[in-house]
Every structure is written in structure tokens, then in C-alpha cells.
Chains A and B, each alone.
Chain A
Amino acid sequence: MSRASLFVPLVAFVVLVGLLYAGFSLEDPHRLPSALVGRAFPAFALADLNAPDTVVTQSIFEGQVTLVNVWATWCPTCKAEHAELARIHDEEGMRIIGINYKDDPAAARRWLARYGDPYERHVIDADGLLGVDLGVYGAPESFLVDQHGVIVHKRVGDVNRRVWEAEFVPLVAQLRDALASKAR
């Protein structure tokens, strides 16, 4: 046995430690790869939060680029991202639709009256079944939906400035360009 081969176990150990370290820091294990990106937004028929007699369906996505935000009053992170959603709406003219997820509608209306309402409208998903169709496993979650009602991107967790600019802005610009060139 040559002397160099004595170091084989040490090298193997270092390589293994390196691989495990990389494995732990590679990505957030809580993050699920979305099964829905590239697919049509699931069909729904739910009541409007501010007009409970009105039924809203997936047809609201036609012809416009929309950010769909799943939120609830019991979700602290939803409150944390609220200001950024307002900015996205006010400064960038983004159309935002809310899904009020497993919440009390009265409390939701009070919450919006208190913190402001940058959403175009909200639908009430009281039992979370639209949430299941969307693969939602924790609010807030946000979906970018194109003008044909196809989900282009999904974000689990809050949409802050950094996330918005890194993940959404390029996609939104692309979709808007496509829309504009079609209109011309």
C-alpha cells in the first residue's frame, strides 16, 4: 500500500462533508416546486368580498396581466407585504386580485378599511378549496397570471421589493410587451 492511499478515507470524508453542506444550503426545503406554472388558472366561481351577491369566475383574467394574491387577516406576513402590494399597484399599475383565504369576510373588510385596498377585487375562498386547486399550503402566496389565464409564476411567502424586482418584473415586462404588440 502506497503512502498516498492512506489519505483516501480523509479525502472521501471531506468530499462527503462538502456534499452534505451544499445539500443543506442549496435551497429552502420548505419550498415546493410549483406544479401549476404553465397551466391554466383553475376554474372557480366564488363570491366577491365587497359584493357577496356577485359571482366571480376565472374569466376575469382574460385580456389583462394579473397578480393574484392569496391572503388572510390571520396571516402576519400578509400584513408585512401589504405596503409593497400597494406600491406595485400605485406605481406600476399592476392589477391585483385578492383571494381571501379561509378568513372571516367581515374581519377581512375591516382589515382592508384599516390598511387600504390596492386590490381590484377579492373573492372569498372560505373553505380553502380554491386554495387546494392552486396548491396553496400557506398564505401569502402570489401568482402571476397572463392575459389568457395561464399561471406564469408562483411565489410562496411575501412579495417584497427584492422578490418583486427579481422574480416578477422581467416576466411582467415580457407579458405586457406581448400584449402591446398584439394590440398594435
Chain B
Amino acid sequence: MIERSVAAFLFVLCTSVWGQGAIDAYEFESEDQSKRYSALIDEFRCPKCLNTNLSGSDAPIAADLRRVVYTLVIEGKRDDEIRTFLQDRYGDFVLYDPPMRVDTIALWAIPASLALLAIIVIVMLARRRRVAVASLDADAQARLAVLLSERDPP
């Protein structure tokens, strides 16, 4: 008897679904609304989790925010209005794509300046090598020519 209930318990344990985000049974008036809802919950970051979006999170707050997004979609709010709504409450954190502002400009400026630095270094190295070859005087050029001609033909 006990064995049977243990087996039943294990069966329930194995067949229940968890971990894989959440599947909310929301009904939409149109296919468009449903698609926008899915895109929006993929786009926002769950405030409780460091790197999971709303659709992928099991956190209660993520479920609440999915419901909020659903309600706003049904109410006919545009995508940018929904973005503003969440950003007003949870800040830039919920956006994976941060806005360009004075305090966030470093996010773009640092990679760009590193790339610029790399280009400058490469140009300088290339130029130095050319100068080294060109600076051989006439004597040395002649010796170099002799040395090269003494090599076995390929």
C-alpha cells in the first residue's frame, strides 16, 4: 500500500511541469494582440531575476507583470506606452535595450573608443615597419639584393 502511494507520488512528481517559464492561459481578441503580448514579455527583464525575461521567469513578480502587460494589451495600449508604463515603475532595469542618455553614454563610448584605439595602434605598427624597410642605405640595399639572389631558386 505504501509502495503504491510512493509510486503515485513519484508519478505526479515526474509528470508535473516546472522550471520551463510559465504558461499562462490568456485569451486575446486577436492574433495581433497575442503576438504583441508574446513579444513584449520576451522583451522585458524580470525585476527579481538578473538575466531572465518576463516570459522565462517563475518569480511571482514576473507572473504579476505578465498579467499587467496582458491587461494593458487588452486595454488597447500601444507597445511604447506599455514600455513607458513599466519603465516608470521599475526603471531602466526592465529594459534589455538601454536608452542613450548622458549617464548611459559610456555604454556606447567605451567600445567605440577602444575600437578607435585599436585602429590607431595597427596603423602605427604598419607605418613603423614600412619605415624600417625604407631606411636601409644604398650599401645595405645592395647587400640585401646579393643575399636574396644567393638563395636557392624555389
**A residues whose Cβ falls under 8 Å from a Cβ of B:** 29-30, 32-36, 102, 127-129, 131-138
Contact = CB atoms under 8 A, between A and B. Distances in A.
Contact of B87 (A35, A127, A138): A35
Given A137-B47, A138-B48, A35 B90 contact: yes
Contacts, number: 40
Interface of B: 47-48, 50, 60-61, 64-65, 68, 87-93
13 contacts: A32-B47, A32-B90, A35-B90, A36-B89, A128-B60, A128-B61, A128-B64, A129-B68, A132-B68, A136-B61, A137-B48, A137-B61, A137-B90
A33 B65 contact: no
Contact of A30 (B50, B65, B87): B50
Contact of A33 (B50, B87, B88, B93): B93
Given A102-B60, A132-B64, A35 B91 contact: yes
Most buried by B among A127, A131, A136, A137: A137
B50 A134 contact: no
Contact of A135 (B50, B60, B90): B90
Contact of A132 (B48, B65, B87, B92): B65
Contacts of B89: 35-36, 132-135
A32 B91 contact: yes
Contacts of A33: 91-93
